[in-house]
Structure 1
Amino acid sequence: MHKAQALVVDDEADILDLIKITLGRMDIQASTALTVAEAKRHLERNRFDLCLTDMNLPDGTGFDLLHHLSDRYPGIPVAMITAHGNMESAVAAMKAGAFDFVSKPVDLQLLRSLVGSALKLRGRAAAEDSADQPGTRLLGDSAVMDEIRHLIVKLARNQAPVFVTGESGTGKELAARLIHAQGPRSEGAFIPVNCGAIPQDLVESELFGHKKGSFTGAVSDKEGLFQAAEGGTLFLDEVADLPLQAQVKLLRAIQEKCVRPVGAQQEIPVNVRIISASHRDLNAEVEKGHFRQDLFYRINVIELRMPALRERPQDIPLLANQMLKRLAQDETHGGRARRMQLTPSALDALKRHPFPGNVRELENVLERATALAEGDLIDVEDLYLTKSDTPAPPQAEEPLDDSVPLEDYLSDIEKRAILSTLEETHWNRTAAARKLGMTLRSLRYRLAKLGIE
């Protein structure tokens, strides 16, 4: 691979010298320009791997150069040099396609991290544009999923904060993992955190760390999740559940790219990409005063909406077949893998079911059907679908109590079916497992999961 080449554009000579020296120590050849016009001439004559540009230039703006690069040299990542505290410009630049930003006065440690991440994109574009890479696809052949996959490739090539929206079970965390895996931070850690699962009085300590003795129970220094994600990605799931005080600190961490552990006197620089998600409408949470508007503006630089399963029913056959293959790896019957298949009527019933729990619910339905179906065919009555326009299964005549979560309701159906079979076989588990079409090991797992002694 050729020696890395960078184009640095700024009308302050001392800034150019500082950045050029820093890049030189990283074995990067830097060409400098004082104006937009001079930068364009450099681009015509040389091939660059990275461009760093100031926002305000004598004959234009960094946006002018960004748009020029996007149109003619889309493979070159562009980082903006912004005035201290001018996050509006930084956010606008990332919305326009900038890779990242660095504030004046330039923090050299952050600059080196930014440049290192940008250079990791070299040679990756062709591979990432392939939608057929194993393990890097969100399953589905629908137009909406094609669009999602292409957008993920684009999002992976910059460092802008991404806000993933969508109902529960639509694959928000999977999308975040793919953005991380296909980008320059793939070698770093992907740290997922469910903000709603952290006790409110421990949120700041969990996110930013704490010093020994900073509060009762702090018996030693503790690294926060931001530090754990250094060089990688921090995925804040259900970010709407963060208490307001923690939201203030999160806002500062994003703006200043540094955190202050609880009880610490100094801030620590962090190089972390933020991807957040929520199934709630954050605009509504902002209006209610439950979520800070300025924080929403920072984390929602780019929004990625994951579609509900009912919006893409044509993807259900592919999803179902892949799930059944995966389930077959864990299930054996008579010494061979069970190759379960859906009957045409069962597949039609799945395509017409609304799936309020989305892909996660589909997986639960198929896991249950695999356990309860006799033989290797799954028919409509094995699915035990509720609240749909599919033909009603035997137990479906009783009304569904809206106050009971769907998973609890389906677990109750499974529990009754297993208990009934156990009673028929006089609690002979081997015979019951055979009658239910599952292994004895699988039956034991389900008995434990359902709390049946």
Structure 2
Amino acid sequence: MLRRRAAARHGRVARVTRILFIDDEPALRMTVGDLLAEQGWQVDVAANVDQATRLIRERAYDLVLSDLRLPDGSGLDLVREVRERQPETPVLVLTAYGSVETAVSAIRLGAAEFLTKPFENEQLLTVIRRHLELRALRDRVSRLERGPEEPVGVSATFRAALAKARAAAETDGTVLLEGETGTGKEVFARLIHRLSSRGDGPFVAVNCAAIPEPLLESELFGHERGAFTGAVRQRKGRLEEAGGGVVLLDEIGEMPLSLQAKLLRVLEERRVVRLGGGDEIAIDVRFLAATSRDLGREVAAGRFRQDLFYRLNVLPIRIPPLRERAGDVPLLLHTFLSRFAAEAGRTLRFDPDVVACLERHPYPGNVRELENLVRRIVLTARGETVRIADVPEEYRSDCGTRRIDGLAGLPAGASLAETMRAVEREVIRRALEANAGHRGRTAEALGISRKNLWEKMRNHGLIGDGDAGPE
């Protein structure tokens, strides 16, 4: 087996296209391998079914190109293998012994195209490029349909963390995401994966705190048949499954010390040994780790290996808790409401008082708590406008009397009329702010007409003299 790598590019790490070429003729392997590498593609070559099968099980490919007749089997065997393990990967079959029956068999098994030898180099490249473009298009459509969850926020602390995540995506280094439970560490991890050169590869998340200690090693590294009671068949570990992509080791601080030593070895050598096995299996994977613990303190307390901490802490990113993200709660409330209402087939909006109320809650569970709160509200809200009565009772303690900013400038002994005017101005100002300045929605939230709103805004000096009038 031989790997031919495209020349490294400067600057941002590009998305590398990986192709596997299988043929038993050494001269053709070299010629085609060099031709493909010259296009900037990473090429692995194999001489037989056995070598190719091992590569397919170790790495993710964008395209597989195989001769039909091989010393130890048929290219059709590899079509089956790829269809089972990498169903989105197109397989092109080559042969000098073309026949209608063989071509039909290959296509029925899932081959993307059947080519006859000899072929011109440009002909081969044209076919490969067409299938790579189709693969990329399908991947883009799939990502759009999934609607990737994006980190949301405008606060300075959030933007700083987001900038670090975007910078980390341009490298292939190990990232350590630190933050309290519910801050969105996995969302940041998925963003790094999506923006990186491995974005089209798998994203595999393993929660080290959720899997019992006796099973965690098997989950990560896999096991051979008979490795333990109940291991009736061979199973690949999550690190192998992440081949060509990214693995997130969530709550890494909960990993037992005995397993930390084995993980350190994998990080250093990029090879795993399945439980009950003896063969080392190469893995091509980027590691991200996340923790809600202070790993520095865990090291000092003897609960976490110092050498593993150094290996993981290459690109540290701290995700701030919600209480440190001034101004982000209203944006998150509206974002989650829009998403969950659409899922439920409803049209909902927040009353400005609800936003002001919920903005004052401390949210010890951070973004996850806020997200679950909005899910709950969407399920129980009675009308199209979410009002205080729709807020779960345990959150209403923050909905009591609040300071009216507009009263701060009133002189002592102000009349009732002056006070009411100041209150009305402040209520309108807050409603406009909660509805992003949209007068139609603001009028509806306040229960008045657009014309009435415009008149009140003009009377309170909330619009300029040149304003043409209500919408």
So what's the TM-score if we normalise by structure 2?
A: 0.53
Match of 1:27 in 2: 37
1:379 and 2:387 matched: yes
Deviation at 1:227, TM superposition (A): 0.5
Match of 2:88 in 1: none
Deviation at 1:5, TM superposition (A): 4.6
**Match of residue 285, structure 2, among 257, 269, 272:** 272
The 1-side partners of 2:311 and 2:36 are apart by 31
Deviation at 1:237, TM superposition (A): 0.6
The 2-side partners of 1:278 and 1:392 are apart by 36
Q: Is the 8 Å Cα contact of residues 194 and 238 (structure 1) preserved in structure 2?
A: yes
The 2-side partners of 1:25 and 1:204 are apart by 42
Give the SS at the match of 2:331. helix
- 1:194/1:350 CA distance change after superposition, 3 Å: same
The 1-side partners of 2:235 and 2:196 are apart by 29
Q: Is the 8 Å Cα contact of residues 170 and 358 (structure 1) preserved in structure 2?
A: yes
Over the aligned positions, Cα root-mean-square deviation in angstroms equals 2.9
**Match of residue 295, structure 1, among 293, 308, 311:** 308
Q: Is the 8 Å Cα contact of residues 340 and 377 (structure 1) preserved in structure 2?
A: yes
Match of 1:351 in 2: 359
Give the SS at the match of 2:176. strand
Larger Rg: 2
Q: Structure 1 residue runs of 4+, over 6 Å off?
A: none
Q: Deviations over 1:381-411 (max 9, x none)?
A: 4323648972359xxxxxxxxxxxxxxxxxx
Q: Is the 8 Å Cα contact of residues 156 and 182 (structure 1) preserved in structure 2?
A: yes
Q: Is the 8 Å Cα contact of residues 138 and 145 (structure 1) preserved in structure 2?
A: no
What letter corresponds to residue 386 of structure 2 in structure 1? I
Give the SS at the match of 1:290. coil
The 1-side partners of 2:375 and 2:214 are apart by 38
Q: Is the 8 Å Cα contact of residues 353 and 385 (structure 1) preserved in structure 2?
A: no
- 1:229/1:196 CA distance change after superposition, 3 Å: same
What letter corresponds to residue 256 of structure 2 in structure 1? P
Deviation at 1:145, TM superposition (A): 2.6
1:208 and 2:221 matched: yes
Matches within 5 A, 1:359-398: 359-384=367-392, 386=394, 390-391=398-399
What letter corresponds to residue 152 of structure 2 in structure 1? L
The 1-side partners of 2:283 and 2:329 are apart by 41
Give the SS at the match of 1:191. strand
**Match of residue 212, structure 2, among 187, 194, 199:** 199
What letter corresponds to residue 244 of structure 1 in structure 2? L
So what's the TM-score if we normalise by structure 1?
A: 0.55
Give the SS at the match of 1:234. strand
What letter corresponds to residue 201 of structure 1 in structure 2? P
The 2-side partners of 1:144 and 1:157 are apart by 21
- 1:219/1:374 CA distance change after superposition, 3 Å: closer
Aligned length: 271
The 2-side partners of 1:253 and 1:26 are apart by 31
Match of 1:41 in 2: none
Structure 1 runs not aligned, ≥5 long: 9-20, 31-133, 394-453
Match of 1:146 in 2: 159
Deviation at 1:371, TM superposition (A): 3.3
What letter corresponds to residue 203 of structure 2 in structure 1? F
Matches within 5 A, 1:21-420: 27-28=37-38, 135=148, 137-332=150-345, 337=346, 339-384=347-392, 386=394, 390-391=398-399
- 1:198/1:390 CA distance change after superposition, 3 Å: same
What letter corresponds to residue 255 of structure 2 in structure 1? L
Give the SS at the match of 1:230. coil
Match of 1:55 in 2: none
The 1-side partners of 2:243 and 2:169 are apart by 17
Deviation at 1:162, TM superposition (A): 0.5
The 1-side partners of 2:292 and 2:302 are apart by 17
- 1:387/1:379 CA distance change after superposition, 3 Å: closer
- 1:178/1:285 CA distance change after superposition, 3 Å: same
The 1-side partners of 2:379 and 2:201 are apart by 39
Q: Deviations over 1:195-235 (max 9, x none)?
A: 11112111111111111222222222111111100111011
Deviation at 1:345, TM superposition (A): 1.8
